[in-house]
């Protein structure tokens, strides 16, 4: 009978046909068949030996007896050929058995490794060992596909250094002639694309972990089940359900019927439709005082008003609870009984409860983003699309703030569109050009190029510290408060064309001209800003936007005076990029 032995770190994948089979740290008197160069492994660690009546695991190390199937074995134990066995030796997990598929799955299940895998110019992940093996089995990854462990993110390996390929089933791939260059425009795959590759899995919008649908947790409802190890003592406990009602709802241990679900890793509650609908992710980033919160409220309101009327795309809240803060902002600005009353929106603070929250992950206090969720649906496609929007405070991008405790900024790597807000009123070099009208609002001077440079540095750091690494996803460089520069920016060009309701198009030719003229102005005043933008992404669009359409008073803004300029454009652009809104005069 043939046995198989697998370990994912270090990479071991052996077929055992002759016994005894020895495993140890160094070649020696026992003639180890597998050598594991690790200080936790003894010179001769263990062997698999045939004796009368079957195959036995035999321990050779007195000081480091392995834990086999949860039991410390000092001498020997008979093995069951009908199932895989799991051996723990410190941080190393080794699996062996007679069914290769079962052994592979067991190895992946007990591996703590997470991987990023290159596909063309993209990078998909983080993936578990099981998902990497699944991708190889389905033919998505080949021998020369580049893969890197998140334990050592700066080093890439070929896939055949991590996973053992069956020579018969690899399609005769010519390893010697294959290129193994790293992609120059790497990006981390979005949740929608990850699911397309790996099937029944999803990416959590909070912790960005890819999980299997079968591992989704339920949120308890019974009063006696208060307290969760990840979210804290005041939260309802999360659990993996085993009992269900007739219509499929989970039942907690005290009999409560549970309607909410949660991420297996960070335990944050999830809108159910995120699990079975494609996601479109947009991150808004900018310096403090650039007006991100006001912009988002204006943008989402304009999307509600214009997407259906102009393009036939419905736009509504997916999770009203998660969207409470942005709905409150919209109401302040656009839905007042007396629209002449001054309204004020608070600045997004780094620790603001509406944009981030702290959880305990693997014993560490981690700050997770709290996005807003929307659902879009086109007239000719009944399949809904989920829009996930992040509002990142400028303080997140201070140099040195990119720690595990502030991992909230990593969502920009998973976005379909990254929207950076540049505030010309915060750059003294622009102030002689500003037309403030009758408003008195004023922002203090700050180095926005430093924030951009920090973004660029983080992208390189998380894509393997390669100097040439850039995002291949679009970067929309928005010049906010564009009404202050209305004499220098092309604010009246017709970027949308159409005469019939719901049949408008995005004019790419006009949008390119808008981008060119906007970039020309930035190059004239602040050339280092445009240079850094192009260093961040290979596809950059420069667009003037204004959340209010005028310079407000310091005490607030009157809703009756608000006339937004192109705040819906980032969403329109991303929909057009996905082919859900028609374009003319070019392509995105």
What are the strands of the beta sheet with 85-89, ordered from one edge?
12-16, 3-7, 92-97, 85-89, 67-68, 71-72
Residue 286: per-residue pLDDT: 85
Condensed to tens digits (0 to 9), the pLDDT of residues 4-51 reads 898 866 767 788 888 888 898 876 544 678 888 887 788 888 899 888
Residue 28: per-residue pLDDT: 52
Q: What is the DSSP code string of 173-216?
A: --TTT---PPPSS--BPPHHHHHHHHSSEEE-TTT--EEEGGG-
d(CA 141, CA 139): 5
d(CA 482, CA 300): 18
Residue from 183, 173, 168, 184 nearest 141 by CA: 173
Residue 151: pLDDT over 70: no
Residue 469: pLDDT over 90: no
Residue 524: per-residue pLDDT: 96
Condensed to tens digits (0 to 9), the pLDDT of residues 179-209 reads 233 333 333 344 444 444 445 677 888 887 8
Residue 511: pLDDT over 90: yes
Which percentage of the chain shows pLDDT scores above 70?
Answer: 80
Condensed to tens digits (0 to 9), the pLDDT of residues 273-320 reads 888 788 888 989 888 777 888 899 999 999 999 999 999 999 999 988
Residue 101: per-residue pLDDT: 75
d(CA 513, CA 536): 21
Q: How far is CA 529 from CA 21, 401, 541, 569, in A?
A: 62, 21, 13, 21
Sign of the Cα pseudo-torsion (420, 425, 427, 432, in order): positive
Residue 357: per-residue pLDDT: 86
Q: What pTM was estimated for this model as a whole?
A: 0.65
**584 in Cβ contact with 564 (< 8 Å):** no
What are the strands of the beta sheet with 261-262, ordered from one edge?
238-239, 217-219, 261-262, 269-270
d(CA 12, CA 4): 10
**Which residue has better confidence, 351 or 175?**
351
Coil, helix or strand at residue 466: coil
Residue 176: per-residue pLDDT: 26
Residue 312: per-residue pLDDT: 93
The pLDDT mean for the chain works out to 81
Residue 410: pLDDT over 70: no
Which percentage of the chain shows pLDDT scores above 90?
Answer: 36
- Assign 508 a pLDDT band (cuts: 50, 70, 90): very high
Condensed to tens digits (0 to 9), the pLDDT of residues 59-85 reads 988 777 888 988 888 888 899 999 999
Q: What is the DSSP code string of 144-182?
A: T-EEEETTSTT--EEGGGTSPPPGGGTTT--TTT---PP
Contacts of 331 (CB under 8 A, 6+ apart): none
Residue 52: per-residue pLDDT: 72
Residue 365: per-residue pLDDT: 84
**391 in Cβ contact with 292 (< 8 Å):** yes
User: Highest-confidence range of 363-367, 407-411, 504-508, 548-552, by mean pLDDT?
Assistant: 504-508
d(CA 279, CA 201): 13
Residue 122: pLDDT over 70: no
Residue 443: pLDDT over 70: no
**Which residue has better confidence, 174 or 72?**
72
Coil, helix or strand at residue 535: helix
Residue 545: pLDDT over 90: yes
Residue 174: per-residue pLDDT: 27
């Amino acid at each position: 009978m043939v046995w198989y032995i697998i370990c994912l770190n270090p990479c071991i994948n052996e077929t055992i046909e002759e016994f005894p089979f020895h495993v140890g740290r160094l070649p020696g008197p026992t003639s180890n068949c597998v050598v594991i160069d690790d200080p936790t492994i003894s010179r001769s660690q263990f062997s698999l030996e045939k004796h009368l009546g079957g195959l036995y695991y035999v321990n050779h190390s007195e000081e480091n007896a392995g834990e086999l199937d949860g039991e410390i074995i000092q001498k020997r134990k008979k093995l069951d050929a009908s199932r895989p066995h799991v051996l723990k030796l410190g941080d190393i997990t080794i699996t062996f058995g007679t069914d290769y598929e079962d052994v592979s799955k067991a190895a992946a299940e007990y591996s703590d490794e997470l991987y990023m895998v290159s596909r063309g110019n993209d990078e998909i992940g983080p993936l578990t060992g099981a998902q990497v093996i699944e991708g190889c089995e389905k033919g998505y990854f080949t021998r020369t596909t580049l893969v890197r462990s998140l334990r050592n993110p700066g080093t890439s390996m070929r896939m055949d250094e991590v996973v053992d390929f069956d020579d018969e089933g690899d399609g005769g791939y010519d390893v010697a002639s294959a290129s193994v260059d790293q992609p120059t425009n790497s990006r981390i795959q979005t949740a929608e694309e990850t699911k397309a590759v790996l099937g029944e899995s999803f990416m959590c919008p909070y912790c960005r972990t890819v999980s299997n649908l079968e591992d989704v947790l339920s949120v308890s409802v019974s009063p006696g089940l208060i307290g969760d190890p990840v979210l804290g003592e005041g939260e309802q406990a999360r659990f993996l359900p085993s009992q269900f009602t007739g219509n499929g709802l989970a039942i907690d241990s005290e009999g409560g019927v549970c309607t909410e679900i949660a991420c297996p890793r960070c335990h944050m509650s999830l809108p159910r439709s995120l699990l079975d609908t494609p996601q479109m992710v947009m991150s808004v980033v900018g310096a403090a005082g650039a007006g991100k919160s006001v912009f988002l409220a204006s943008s989402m309101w304009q999307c509600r008003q214009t997407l259906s009327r102009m393009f036939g795309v419905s736009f509504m809240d997916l999770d009203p609870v998660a969207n409470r803060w942005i709905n409150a902002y919209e109401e302040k600005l656009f839905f007042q009984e007396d629209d002449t009353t001054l309204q004020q929106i608070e600045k997004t603070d780094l620790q603001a409860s509406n944009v981030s929250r702290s959880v305990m992950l693997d014993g560490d206090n981690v700050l997770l983003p709290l996005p807003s969720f929307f659902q879009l649906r086109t007239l000719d496609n009944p399949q809904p699309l989920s829009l996930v929007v992040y509002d990142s405070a400028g303080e997140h991008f201070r140099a040195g703030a990119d720690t595990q405790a502030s991992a909230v900024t990593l969502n920009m790597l998973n976005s379909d569109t990254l929207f950076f807000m540049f505030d010309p009123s915060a750059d003294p070099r622009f102030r002689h050009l500003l037309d403030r009208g009758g408003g008195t609002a004023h922002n203090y001077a700050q180095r926005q190029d430093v924030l951009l440079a920090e973004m660029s540095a983080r992208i390189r750091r998380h894509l393997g510290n390669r100097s040439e690494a850039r995002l291949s996803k679009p970067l929309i460089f928005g010049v906010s408060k564009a009404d202050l520069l209305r004499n220098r920016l092309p604010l009246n060009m017709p970027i949308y064309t159409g005469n019939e309701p719901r049949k408008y198009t995005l004019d790419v030719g006009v949008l390119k001209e808008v981008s060119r003229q906007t970039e020309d102005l930035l190059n004239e005043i602040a050339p280092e800003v445009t240079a850094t933008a192009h260093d961040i992404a290979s596809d950059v669009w420069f667009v003037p936007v204004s959340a209010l359409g005028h310079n407000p008073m310091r005490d607030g803004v009157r809703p009756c005076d608000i006339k937004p300029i192109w705040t819906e454009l980032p969403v329109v652009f991303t929909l057009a990029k996905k082919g859900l809104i028609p374009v003319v005069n070019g392509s995105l």
